[in-house]
Amino acid sequence: MQSKQVKPNSWVQHFDSIEQFYRYICETPYNAAFSKQSDRRSGTVSYERTQFTKTKTFDEAVSLMKDGWTDMASTLTVRLQSVDKHTQAAHTRQMFNSVAGFQPIVPLYLVGVPTSMASMKMVAKKQKVITITKLVNYSCSVSSDQIVIESIKAMQVIKTLEAQGYRVNIDVALGTQAGGRQIVASIRIKNANEKLNVSKLAFPLVHPSMLRRLLIRYLEVNENVTNAFVGGYGCPISADTMRPLLPNTIVIPAIWQVDPNNIKSLDDIK
Write the pLDDT tens digit of every residue in 104-159.
Answer: 887 876 778 888 788 877 665 557 999 999 999 999 999 988 998 998 899 889 98
> Which of 225, 210, 227 is closest to 174 using CA atoms?
210
Torsion from C-alpha of 23, 26, 28, 29, nearest 10 degrees: -170
Residue 204 lies in a domain: yes
Residue 155 forms part of a structural domain: yes
Q: pLDDT value at position 92?
A: 61
Q: How far apart are CA 50 and CA 144, in angstroms?
A: 10
Q: Collapse the DSSP code of 128 into the 3-class scheme (helix H, G, I; strand E, B; otherwise coil) and give the result.
A: coil
pLDDT in tens, 62-119: 999 998 898 888 888 887 776 655 454 445 677 778 878 778 887 876 778 888 788 8
Burial (CB count <10 Å: 0-12, 13-18, 19+), residue 106: exposed
Q: Per mean pLDDT, which range of 87-96, 167-176, 191-200, 228-237 is the poorest?
A: 87-96
Residue 119, pLDDT score: 83
215 assigned to some structural domain? yes
| Angstrom distance (rounded) from CA 33 to CA 227 | 5
pLDDT in the model for residue 125: 59
Domain carrying residue 246: 2-86+126-269
| CA gap 155, 127 in Å, rounded | 19
Domain membership flag for residue 99: no
Write down the pLDDT at residue 164: 85
User: Which residue type occupies 100?
Assistant: A
Distance CA 172, CA 100 (A): 50
Is residue 75 a part of any domain in this protein? Answer: yes
- 115 found inside a domain: no
176 within domain boundaries? yes
> Does residue 104 lie in a domain region?
no
Q: What is the pLDDT of residue 124?
A: 59
With CA atoms as reference, report the closest residue to 9 among 229, 171, 188: 229
Query: Looking at the 3D structure of the chain, how many domains does it have?
Result: 1
